[in-house]
Structure formats: structure tokens, C-alpha cells
């Protein structure tokens, strides 16, 4: 099985067994705790007239929010099942959803030929890929951005691992996280210090980076919501 098929199998398994129960999708925070806080960080860098691609958009919760702020939004996903869920649950006249495996740079290039340069929003996708696949994913993103697009990414940071270790020790695994593991999805961490290795300076310009948080939908017995340490980065292709 190719690595791309491994992701397809795992994520199709995950999304096709989702029941829609509240709290089931671990990272599915309401937009004020997700895309809205992200937008505050990247809005000054983007041309809102360019299409925005929500890469690895999941069920479209954040995509739908972004559609109120951008002329055209396209949610892309590896999983056909979640594309159908997003089309049903998070439709809007200026939003479309489609299948795109970020590990297929040729397909990303074909999308660029169709829509031109685009901004890319990517929330907690890169760390789902094996480190060996990061370069291919970034090649796809480079193709989508073209000359004028910017990339905003938010990923779990190196502080997430000790955070989860302590959380699980104290309370056991949150059910939403256990469901991820049941589908043999093995999230890794990205190290925020590696951002310029992943996005080398001869190809990308780092516009801004900093610490952030990923809000989850899991509430602890203490009534606290699980909020995972993260980092964000805003990049564009290097202008020659
Ligand atoms: C943790 S979820 C985040 C979903 C969404 N960005 C959000 O914040 O709600 C990661 C998403 O990446 C998608 N994904 C995994 N591998 C992918 C790939 N190779 N290409 C495109 N999407 C992928 C999964 O189907 C899943 O919906």
C-alpha cells in the first residue's frame, strides 16, 4: 500500500464511522476559537480577492466561517466521505468542496491551473502526515500558492506531546482522541524550530510566526476545555 493510500484508508475509516454526536470530532472547535482567531493573525497579509483553499478541511466547520470573509473558498480533502459531509453541513454559495490529496503535487498543480494563485489555510493537517511526506505536501502547497498566495498554518507544537502525556496520565485518553487512534491515525508533532527546514528560505519567506493553541471539544471533569499547545506560521513563496 502506498503511503497516500494509507492516509486514505485511515481517514475514510475515521470519517465514515462518524455519527455526528456532539464532541465526537476532537478538534472541531467553534470558529471563534479556531478560524476566527487565525484570521486575526493572517488577515493583514492576504489579498481577500484571491480564492482561499482550506487544505484538509475536514467537515468544513472552519471553511464555512472563512467563506464570510473571502470571495471564494474551496475546501479540499483526501476523504470523499468528509467532502460529502461538508457539502451537506457547511454549504454556502461561494464555497465548494473537492477531493485533493496533498501528497499528489500534480493534482495540486492542476487545481492551480484551474483557479490561479490561491491563499492556503491549513489547520492541523501537516502533523498528521509522516515526516517523510512533509516535503511532498509542501511541494503541493507551493504549487497552489503561486506568486501571490500566502499560507497560514497552525499545528501542534513540541509542547503538545508533554501536554498530552500529562493529560492522559491524569484523566485517561479523551474519547475523541481514542477514536483517532482506533483508525490507526498516528499524529506526530512538528517542531516549530524546523519551520525554516520545512519551508527553506530559497523558496519561501516567513512573514510571521508565534505560539498559539488548538481548542478541542473535550471538557475535563474540572470543566476546563482541553486546549493543546500549538504554533502558527504565515509564509509566502519567495519573490525573486
Ligand atoms: C485533524 S483533521 C483537521 C480538519 C480541519 N482542518 C479542521 O481544523 O477541522 C486533519 C484532516 O486532514 C485530512 N487529511 C489527512 N491526510 C490528508 C491528505 N493526504 N490530503 C488531504 N487531506 C488530508 C483528514 O481527512 C482530516 O480531515
User: For ligand 1, is residue 56 a contact (CB within 6 Å)?
Assistant: yes
What is the spatial distance between Cα 151 and Cα 38, in angstroms, rounded to a whole number? 12
User: For ligand 1, is residue 101 a contact (CB within 6 Å)?
Assistant: yes
What CATH number does the domain located at 3-237 have? 3.40.50.150
Q: Dihedral through CA 6, CA 111, CA 92, CA 59, nearest 10? A: 10
User: For ligand 1, is residue 105 a contact (CB within 6 Å)?
Assistant: no
Burial class (CB in 10 A: 0-12, 13-18, 19+), 160: buried
What is the spatial distance between Cα 221 and Cα 229, in angstroms, rounded to a whole number? 20
pTM to 2 decimal places = 0.97
DSSP 234: E
In this prediction, residue 16 carries a pLDDT of 97
Strands 119-123 and 150-156: parallel
What is the spatial distance between Cα 62 and Cα 58, in angstroms, rounded to a whole number? 9
User: For ligand 1, is residue 11 a contact (CB within 6 Å)?
Assistant: yes
Q: Which of 170, 209, 158 is nearest to 38 (CA)?
A: 209
What is the spatial distance between Cα 136 and Cα 119, in angstroms, rounded to a whole number? 18
What is the spatial distance between Cα 94 and Cα 82, in angstroms, rounded to a whole number? 19
Cα of 114 from ligand 1 centre, angstroms: 22
Residue pair 137/163 in contact by the 8 Å Cβ criterion: no
pLDDT tens per residue, range 143-173: 999 999 999 999 999 999 999 999 999 999 9
What is the spatial distance between Cα 55 and Cα 153, in angstroms, rounded to a whole number? 10
In this prediction, residue 121 carries a pLDDT of 98
For a mutational test of ligand 1's pocket, the pick from 15, 56, 126, i.e. the residue with the most ligand atoms closer than 8 A to its C-beta, is 56
User: For ligand 1, is residue 79 a contact (CB within 6 Å)?
Assistant: yes
SS (H, E, C) 153-186: EEEECCCHHHHHHHHHHHHCCCHHHHHHHHCCCC
Residues in the chain, pLDDT under 50: 1
In this prediction, residue 235 carries a pLDDT of 98
Q: Which of 80, 167, 76 is nearest to 115 (CA)?
A: 76
In this prediction, residue 3 carries a pLDDT of 52
In this prediction, residue 105 carries a pLDDT of 97
Cα of 99 from ligand 1 centre, angstroms: 11
User: For ligand 1, is residue 140 a contact (CB within 6 Å)?
Assistant: no
For a mutational test of ligand 1's pocket, the pick from 11, 62, 106, 232, i.e. the residue with the most ligand atoms closer than 8 A to its C-beta, is 11
Residues facing residue 232 across a β-bridge: 154, 210
User: For ligand 1, is residue 57 a contact (CB within 6 Å)?
Assistant: yes
User: For ligand 1, is residue 151 a contact (CB within 6 Å)?
Assistant: no
Q: Which of 74, 85, 84 is nearest to 107 (CA)?
A: 74
In this prediction, residue 4 carries a pLDDT of 56
Amino acid at each position: 500500500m502506498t503511503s497516500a493510500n494509507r492516509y486514505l484508508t485511515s481517514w475514510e475509516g475515521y470519517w465514515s464511522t462518524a455519527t455526528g454526536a456532539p464532541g465526537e470530532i476532537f478538534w472541531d472547535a467553534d470558529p471563534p476559537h479556531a478560524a476566527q482567531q487565525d484570521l486575526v493573525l493572517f488577515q493583514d497579509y492576504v489579498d481577500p480577492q484571491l480564492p482561499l483553499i482550506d487544505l484538509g478541511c475536514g467537515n468544513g466547520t472552519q471553511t464555512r466561517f472563512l467563506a464570510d470573509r473571502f470571495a471564494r473558498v474551496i475546501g479540499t480533502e483526501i476523504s470523499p466521505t468528509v467532502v460529502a459531509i461538508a457539502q451537506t453541513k457547511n454549504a454556502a454559495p461561494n464555497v465548494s468542496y473537492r477531493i485533493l490529496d496533498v501528497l499528489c503535487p500534480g493534482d495540486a498543480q492542476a487545481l492551480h491551473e484551474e483557479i490561479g494563485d490561491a491563499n492556503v489555510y491549513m489547520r492541523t493537517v501537516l502533523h498528521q502526515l509522516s515526516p517523510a511526506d512533509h516535503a511532498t505536501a509542501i511541494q503541493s502547497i507551493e504549487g497552489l500558492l503561486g506568486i501571490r498566495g500566502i499560507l497560514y498554518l497552525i499545528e501542534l507544537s513540541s509542547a503538545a506531546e508533554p501536554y498530552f502525556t500529562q493529560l492522559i496520565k491524569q484523566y485517561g485518553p479523551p474519547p475523541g482522541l481514542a477514536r483517532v487512534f482506533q483508525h490507526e491515525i498516528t499524529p506526530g508533532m512538528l517542531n516549530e524550530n524546523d519551520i525554516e527546514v520545512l519551508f527553506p528560505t530559497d523558496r519561501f519567506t516567513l512573514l510571521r510566526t508565534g505560539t498559539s493553541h488548538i481548542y478541542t471539544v473535550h471538557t475535563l471533569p474540572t470543566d476546563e476545555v482541553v486546549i493543546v499547545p500549538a504554533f502558527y506560521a504565515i509564509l509566502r513563496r519567495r519573490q525573486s
